[in-house]
Structure 1
Amino acid sequence: MTTSPLQIRDFQLYWVARFCAVLATMGMVVIIGYQVYDTARADYGMSIREASLILGLLGAAQFVPLAILTPVAGWAADRWERRTVARLANAVDLSVALGLALATSNDWLSLPLLFGFAALHGIARVFVGPSMSAIAPNIVPPALLPKAIALSSIAWQGATVLGPAIGGFLYAADPALPYWTAAALLGVAILTLSPIRRVVPPPMSRELHPIRQMVDGLTYVRGHRFLLGAITLDLFAVLLGGATAMLPVFARDILHVGTEGLGLLRAAPAVGAALVAAIFAIRPLHHNVGVKMLAAVAAFGLLTIVFGLSKSMPLSLFALALLGAADMLSVYVRSSLVQLHTPDMMRGRVSAVSGLAISASNELGELQSGIAAALLGPVGAVVAGGGAAVAIAGLWSYLFPELRRARTFDPPPTVLAEALEEEKPA
């Protein structure tokens, strides 16, 4: 009897592919952000607040293609073989890594060039997200899906721990080395996805126009208050409360720890998150999952305030690690609920909507943080954002009581009925 997703060969390959792809992505992201901020300060003579605003605009540059292409990406994951979509998207990201490696090696860097590569990186990510997310439920039994999500989170968080730290140290040795390494890792991810059995989504109705099928993902989420509440909770909490965009500012000009310290700051949240994910992989949550998700979002906001006020590197790392643990608890519950409350025929499109919310919270959060930092300074922006995240947790518990009342991960009868209807022969 199979008791763990790791006993399934396809999941093992999927886990390795996810780990390598995220490791590459996180190493690239931390260096792109630092190069943008450093280029703005050193080459363009900008002040801290002006360069902070440029960091915010970098987030917007990545979000615009995500916002435009998310419906297309979700439709593609529900229309075509999902491994193929994921491999092609990772291939685009590989080309971004090679381009940045060459530009860095030859001293071609400028803000327009960095922004262009960041936008192309955003395009790749929007197609990777829904296709990869929709693979896991098809290669493990439903009863093992919460464990699979926890293990997948370990891959994601483990890579998020190592990626920024490795990227920072590689950058200190040779500024182009993080990008060459990322290109190699993305190549491994593409090769590792190939042996997994084909993951073909259920056939779509040919009577509906593709654009209508794309919009159906948004319509489905809007019509299911539980999904809408879970997805928007993460959207607004991280949009207003995220401190990640300001980490280059804190590393360079507040804590004075350089790129190596930036790598540690970026890795700290993932350390806490990886530990929590490992616990859930062994002992999954079973009871009062909705209340625990809301409490985790409130803790995320409080710890963001602690980080913003800290002037000590050890305290900052400790606050970020606890912040990451709280975020992982929220992500674990939300991801499990979204996957299990969505029929397979809609998983790609609903995953795309969820991915858009995550991207909006991250990339638009960077824009919001940049604007707030330009007005309030980086410390004021982070502290105000943490307070907003606490408020969002309380407000969502009132606006969406369905979240507060969620006791277990068991899908409701309506989703089970939709799944059974999907399996009926035409």
Structure 2
Amino acid sequence: MSAAVTPRPRRRPAPPGSLRRNRDFQLLCAGQGLSMLGSGASAVALPLLVLQVTRSPLHVGLVEAVWTGALALACLPAGPVADRFARRTVLLACETGRAVASAALAAVVLTGVSPLPVLLAAGVVLGFLTAPFNAAVLPAVRDVVPESRLATALAVNQVRGQLAYLLGPVIGGVLFEASPSWPFWLDSASYAVSAACVCALRTPMRPPDGTTREGWWRSFTTGIAFLWGERVLRRLTLIASAQNFVFDGVYLAIVVTSAREGASGGSVGMLTALSAVGAMTGVVLAPRAGRLLPPSQVLLVTGVVCTLLVTGMALTASALVLAVLLAGCALAVAVAASVLTVARLLRTPAHLQGRTNSAIGLLFMATPPLGSSLTGLFLGELPGWILFLCFGAVLALLAAASPRKDAFASAGSLDRSNGVGHTRAHAMD
């Protein structure tokens, strides 16, 4: 007698609107993930390349300042550009331009001669192409995903981004050890693949109705005017912008210090990779922190933690220990950033979200170039441990300046929705 055959259980069909079966979302998600992977690889290779060519921390800071400064300047017009033109056109133009620019930079590096003006020009071009892409890609996700699945789609995007920033620097550091041009070739190829994914999209992406009737200058200034009129939002943004100044300098100081101690490109890449791990952990912990503590205490606790960790960097020259401390800072910053995200979502009208986000992005990106420049300047004159102590002192002042409970009480629903709002806010970043 033959044994009874147990039927194989059927695979459960995907629910209606499933992201797994959403072809355009998968294309957009895969293309952007590869794009961010390439960017992470080139980001860690750039300071190593400048240090190898010029042997000058000041030049490293200058190049980093120009690259981030170009992105900062492009943030303000990026929102109106993304709203005025079809998003597919914006995404395709930006990715194609970045692929060409990165390939040209890789070709120059391959020759063995990398003039400083060429590196600066590449940073300007890439910065002015990256900002419109960033402004258009999230609205594009909204175009291809049904509203019922939007929060999940944005959460998937966030996790994908952290994974890209986790792997990209490691890959970039290893490739740099093989050949300094390889990380930039990878960056160019990733942009080309992303452009191909955008070309394959089927969902129509038309510009929003009514945005073209507003003048360009008014489009640039409306978001800034609204942000400046919102006291809590303005204060949170300025504090976060100052923290960006500090952490850009901290990261550059760690890279240069580790390179001086003989760390390999792969080891330096691990710095950023561990930082991405810390940020990802912070994203996971933020909702729980929001349920346990009010926004004012979240900001104060994370500010004190960052102060202690950066101050502790003055006590070691070990690349591994510095990487762990930097990861702890990234975790704390990710938790604190959720407070600003909730404030931005709750206090900004829907029709001003894009322009307000552009204004916030401008302030966020305006300070890192100064942090890079000053760090590069002082690293040539001072030991790293003094800089870490100075950065720790600045973070202590920022923690003391964080808004207190009464400020959030005047913000209405922000304080009451803290626990629930964190989850939604992180999904929409």
Question: Deviation of residue 260 (structure 1)?
Answer: 1.8
Q: Does 1:406 align with 2:415?
A: yes
Task: Trace 1:120-269 onto structure 2 (pairs within 5 A).
Answer: 120-136=125-141, 148-194=153-199, 195=201, 197-204=203-210, 208-242=214-248, 243-253=250-260, 255-269=261-275
Q: Distance in 2 between matches of 1:407 and 1:2?
A: 34
The answer to whether 1:37 aligns with 2:37 is: no
CA contact (8 A) 2:295 2:405 kept: no
Q: Is the 8 A contact 2:61 2:375 kept in 1?
A: yes
Shift of 1:239: 0.9
RMSD over aligned Cα atoms: 3.2
Q: CA deviation at 1:99?
A: 1.1
CA displacement 1:343-372 (0-9 Å, x = unmatched): 443232222222222322433321232234
Q: Identify the match of residue 330 of structure 1 among 328, 331, 336.
A: 336
Residue equivalent to 1:275: 281
Is contact 2:237–2:360 with CA below 8 Å preserved after alignment?
A: yes
Aligned to 1:21: 35
Change (3 A) 1:197 1:335: farther
AA matched with 1:220: F
In structure 2, what residue type is equivalent to 1:105?
L
TM-score by length of 1: 0.82
> Aligned letter for 1:61?
V
Correspondence 1:10-159 to 2 at 5 A = 10-41=24-55, 51-136=56-141, 148-159=153-164
SS of the residue aligned with 1:390?
A: helix
Structure 2 distance, partners of 1:375, 1:168, is 27
Question: How far did 1:294 drift?
Answer: 4.5
Query: 2:246, 2:395 within 8 Å by CA — same for their partners in 1?
Result: yes
Contact 2:258 2:319 in 1 (8 A): no
- Checking the alignment, whether the CA contact within 8 Å between 2:314 and 2:386 is kept in structure 1 is yes
- Residue-pair matches, total: 400
Spell out the pairing of 1:289-300 with structure 2 (5 A cutoff). Answer: 290-291=295-296, 292-300=298-306
SS at match of 1:406: helix
Separation in 1, partners of 2:97, 2:115: 21
Report the TM-score, using the length of structure 2 for normalisation: 0.82
In structure 1, what is the equivalent of residue 425 of structure 2? Answer: none
Structure index of larger Rg: 2
Distance (Å, rounded) in 1 between the aligned partners of 2:107 and 2:136: 29
Contact 2:235 2:403 in 1 (8 A): no
Note the C-alpha offset of 1:289. 6.0
1:313 aligns to 2:356 (yes or no):
no
Runs of 5+ consecutive residues of structure 1 not aligned to the other structure = 42-50, 412-426
Deviates more, 1:177-186 or 1:385-394: 385-394
8 A contact 1:55–1:370 mirrored in 2: yes
Identity %: 23
